[in-house]
């Protein structure tokens, strides 16, 4: 080939790869184009594209051309041999000695395939994510242009793979989140239904037991038993009220408020408990505070719930940090409450906001469930990050809402 | 306290009977209905001082009964009872003319206090 037709041929391959990249509905299509076009442009026997599967730590074949079935079924390539020489991402590795190169896992099979030379081009942006291997039937020299061409294709290909991987991980995170929200809201609806059904029989129990407790001889076992029934029934009532709040039965009574004031007021309420346990509170409250439409009492309740959880999590002399940040760019208020306590076990993380989930001996399991409902009711977002033994961080975001964008009542 | 004429409208028989027991002991007369329909008929016929009204009845919505009661002359005092013990419910019932509000479950004392407070001695 003359140098100008070669240039044309490289140009066409790059054009096809980039075109495939932009119609990115199918990663496989891009990978197929990369292997076939590269093989054609370099007059090679074939090419193989492997992508690192991070779960198994193996390079799996994702696209191939020009290679026999027997060679392809040789199995996966482990990372140890490949990764050890894959450190430089922008370097093309030319393998001339198939029998002795450490990067070749199956020399016999490669030789039988008619391969006498190979070129490895790592795929990756910051870290290795894959590898393109191009196979030749005879030894040859590579011009700088050819090496440059291989690098350019690999770079574009790596960009596509990364974009698709980011998209896939976002998609899976999102669908996970949707399932979680669905589960919580159906639990809420169920809770509201159950609450009503249970309050009716409880009304009968409470009326009879409170009435009877006055008619039995005072000081006796009967009176004591009836009083316990009265007390326990009232406890049920409190639990159900919490559940109803979780079920978003309470419309936020919004007003323009300063989030720092609410935080200070919540800290004031728990101050004593913190003092008794020698737990220090570190405050980092944003000075330029934007007032937002929130239900002061409900948000205070959320802060108190999280602060008390933090207090429980830290040993004596722990530190709880509260932070407020006005994010003018994204038009939201960002609140963080973190502790350096015992953290949350990974298998508890999923259940954290579910009603009745509690790790405390006397907990109702409603604190965070109610908090979740309240934040959601304010179009806010509540997230939690935790490392066992290191601590827990709750993040709450509230959007700046203008008064007329808030529904006055519920449909 | 003078004897009051009380009507309980609740589809739960146990609640009707319990209210009857508690209030009768205090010298009040109690009738009860388990549906909205029979409740409306009773309200039209009898001259009640107080109506204890469950907001969730199988046939007619409690709010609808509340509006009918307000049209009565003289209008009996209505105490709304509901299992959805939420503020917004109470506020809505009060706006429609209810005199008081009892969140289920409630004790005998709470019931007596609500009923007698609603009808102060003239």
pLDDT tens figures, A384-401: 999 998 999 999 999 987
**B80 touches A at CB < 8 Å:** no
| Pick from B60, B55, B38: nearest CA to B96 | B55
Given CB atoms, is B81 within the 8 Å cutoff of chain A?
Answer: yes
Quick check: A195 and B83 CB within 8 A? yes
Chain B CB contacts of A196 below 8 Å:
56, 83-84
Q: Confirm or reject contact between A196 and chain B (CB < 8 A).
A: yes
pLDDT tops 90 at residue B19: yes
ipTM, 2 decimals? 0.90
The chain A residue lying nearest B54, using CA atoms, is A200
For residues A11-23, b (16+ Cβ closer than 10 Å) or e, as one string? eebbeebeebbee
Per-residue pLDDT tens digits for B49-107: 999 999 888 898 888 888 888 888 788 999 998 876 555 667 777 888 889 889 889 99
Q: Which of B21, B84, B105 sits opposite A206 (nearest CB)?
A: B105
Minimum Cα–Cα distance from A206: chain B residue: B107
Chain B residue numbers touching A237 (CB-CB < 8 A): 85, 103, 105
CA-wise closest residue to B54 among B44, B41, B42, B64: B64
SS3 B28: coil
B18 lies within 8 A of chain A by CB: yes
Question: Which residue from A378, A379, A355, A375 is spatially nearest to A367, judged by alpha carbons?
Answer: A355
Residue A10 CB burial class (10 angstroms; 0-12, 13-18, ≥19): buried
Cβ-Cβ contacts under 8 Å, B25 against chain A:
211
**Confidence grade of residue A208 (pLDDT, cut at 50, 70, 90):** very high
Q: Say what the pLDDT of residue A165 is.
A: 81
Check whether B40 has a pLDDT greater than 70: yes
Kindly state the percentage of chain B with pLDDT values over 70. 93
Helices (H) and strands (E) in chain A, counts: 11, 13
Q: Rounded to a whole number, what is the largest CA-CA distance in chain A?
A: 114
Closest Cα of chain A to B64: distance in Å? 18
Rounded average pLDDT over A295-315: 89
Residues on chain A touching B95 (C-beta within 8 angstroms) = none
Q: A120 forms bridges with which residues in the sheet?
A: A93, A133
- Strand pairing category for A255-257 and A280-285: unpaired
pLDDT tens-digit readout, A251-280: 678 888 899 999 998 898 888 888 888 899
Residue of A204, A214, A237 lying closest to B12 (CB–CB)? A204
SS3 A282: strand
Number of H helices, E strands in chain B: 5, 5
CA dist., res. A12 & res. A346, Å (int): 50
Output the pLDDT for position A249.
47
Residue A86 has pLDDT above 80, yes or no: no
Average pLDDT over residues A13-37: 79
Name all domains of chain B by residue range, CATH numbers in brackets.
5-118 (3.40.50.2300)
User: Tokens representing A299?
Assistant: 């948000």
State residue A3's pLDDT score.
Answer: 64
A200 touching B (Cβ < 8 Å):
yes
Residue from B104, B113, B115 to probe the interface with A (highest A Cβ count within 10 Å): B104
CB contact under 8 A, B111 and A207: yes
| Mean pLDDT, rounded, of chain A | 82
Q: Is B25 on the interface with A (CB under 8 A)?
A: yes
User: What pLDDT is attached to residue A128?
Assistant: 81
Q: Chain A contacts of B106, Cβ < 8 Å?
A: 203, 206-207
Q: What is the pLDDT of residue A246?
A: 62
For an interface test with B, give the residue of A192, A193, A195, A204 to mutate (most B CBs within 10 A).
Answer: A204
- Contacts A–B by Cβ distance under 8 A: 81
Does A203 sit within 8 Å of B106, measured CB to CB?
yes
Contacts from A348-351 at CB under 8 Å and sequence distance 24+?
A349/A384, A349/A386, A350/A180
Measured between beta carbons, which residues in chain A are less than 8 angstroms from residue B57? Answer: none
Instruction: State the smallest CA–CA distance between residue B113 and chain A in angstroms.
Output: 13
pTM score = 0.49
**B113 part of contact set with chain A, CB < 8 Å:** no
Which of the two residues, A392 and A15, has the higher pLDDT score? A392
Rounded to the nearest 5°, which phi and psi values hold at B72? -70, 145
B-chain CB neighbours of A239 within 8 Å are none
Distance CA A223, CA B80 (A): 30
Interface check for B111 against chain A (CB to CB < 8 A): the answer is yes
Which one has a higher pLDDT value, A408 or A121?
A: A121
User: Does residue B24 sit at the A interface (CB-CB below 8 Å)?
Assistant: no
Tell whether A199 lies on the interface with B, counting CB pairs under 8 A: yes
Q: Is the pLDDT reported for residue A250 higher than 70?
A: no
pLDDT grade for A368, boundaries at 50, 70 and 90: confident
- The pLDDT of residue A1 is above 60: no
Please state, in angstroms and rounded to a whole number, the distance separating the CA atoms of residues A171 and A164: 10
Task: Report the pLDDT value the prediction gives residue A410, as an integer from 0 to 100.
Answer: 36
Query: Considering only alpha carbons, which residue of chain B is nearest residue A229?
Result: B107
pLDDT tens by residue, A316-329: 779 999 999 998 88
């Amino acid at each position: 080939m003359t140098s100008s037709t070669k240039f044309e041929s490289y140009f066409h391959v790059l054009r096809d790869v980039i075109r495939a990249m932009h119609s990115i509905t199918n990663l496989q299509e891009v990978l197929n184009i990369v292997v076939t076009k590269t093989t054609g442009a370099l007059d090679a026997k074939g090419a193989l594209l492997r992508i690192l599967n991070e779960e198994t730590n193996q390079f799996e074949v994702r696209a191939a051309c020009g290679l026999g079935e027997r060679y392809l079924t040789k199995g996966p390539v482990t990372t140890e041999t490949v990764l050890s020489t894959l450190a430089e991402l922008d370097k093309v590795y030319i393998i001339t000695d198939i029998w002795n190169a450490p990067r070749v896992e199956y020399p016999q099979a490669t030789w039988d395939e008619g391969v006498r030379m190979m070129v490895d081009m790592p795929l990756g942006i910051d870290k290795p994510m894959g590898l393109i291997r191009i196979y030749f039937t005879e030894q040859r020299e590579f011009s700088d242009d050819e090496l440059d061409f291989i690098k350019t294709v690999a770079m574009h290909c790596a960009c596509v793979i990364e974009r698709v991987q980011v998209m896939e991980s976002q998609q899976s995170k999102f669908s996970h989140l949707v399932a979680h929200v669905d589960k919580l809201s159906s639990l809420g609806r169920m809770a509201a239904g159950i609450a009503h059904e249970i309050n009716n029989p409880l009304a009968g129990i409470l009326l009879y037991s409170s009435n009877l407790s006055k008619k039995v001889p005072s000081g006796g076992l009967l009176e004591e038993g009836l009083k316990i029934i009265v007390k326990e029934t009232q406890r049920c009532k409190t639990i159900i009220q919490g559940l109803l709040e979780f079920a978003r039965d309470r419309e936020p009574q919004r007003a323009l408020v300063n989030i720092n004031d609410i935080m200070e007021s919540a800290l004031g309420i728990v101050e004593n408990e913190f003092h008794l346990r020698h737990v220090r509170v570190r405050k980092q409250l944003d000075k330029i505070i934007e007032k937002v439409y929130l239900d002061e009492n409900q948000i205070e309740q959320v802060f108190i719930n999280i602060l008390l959880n933090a207090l429980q999590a830290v040993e004596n002399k722990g530190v709880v940090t509260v932070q407020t940040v006005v994010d003018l760019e994204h038009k939201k208020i960002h609140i963080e409450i973190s502790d350096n306590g015992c953290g949350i076990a990974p298998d508890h993380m999923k259940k954290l906001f579910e009603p009745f989930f509690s790790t405390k001996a006397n907990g109702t399991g409603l604190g965070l469930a109610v908090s979740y409902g309240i934040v959601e009711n304010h179009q806010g977002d509540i997230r939690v990050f935790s490392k066992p033994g290191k601590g827990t961080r709750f993040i709450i975001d509230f959007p700046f809402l203008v008064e007329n964008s808030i529904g006055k009542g519920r449909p | 306290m003078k004897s009051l004429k009380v009507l309980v409208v609740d589809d739960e028989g146990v609640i009707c009977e319990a209210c009857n027991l508690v209030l009768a002991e205090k010298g009040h007369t109690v009738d009860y209905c388990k549906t909205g329909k029979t409740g409306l008929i009773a309200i039209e016929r009898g001259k009640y001082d107080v109506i204890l009204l469950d907001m969730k009845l199988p046939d007619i919505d409690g709010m609808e009964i509340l509006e009918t009661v307000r049209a009565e002359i003289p209008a009996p005092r209505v105490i709304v009872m509901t299992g959805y013990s939420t503020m917004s419910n109470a506020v809505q019932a009060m706006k429609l003319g209810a005199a008081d509000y009892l969140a289920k479950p409630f004790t005998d004392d709470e019931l007596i206090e609500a009923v007698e407070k609603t009808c102060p001695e003239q």
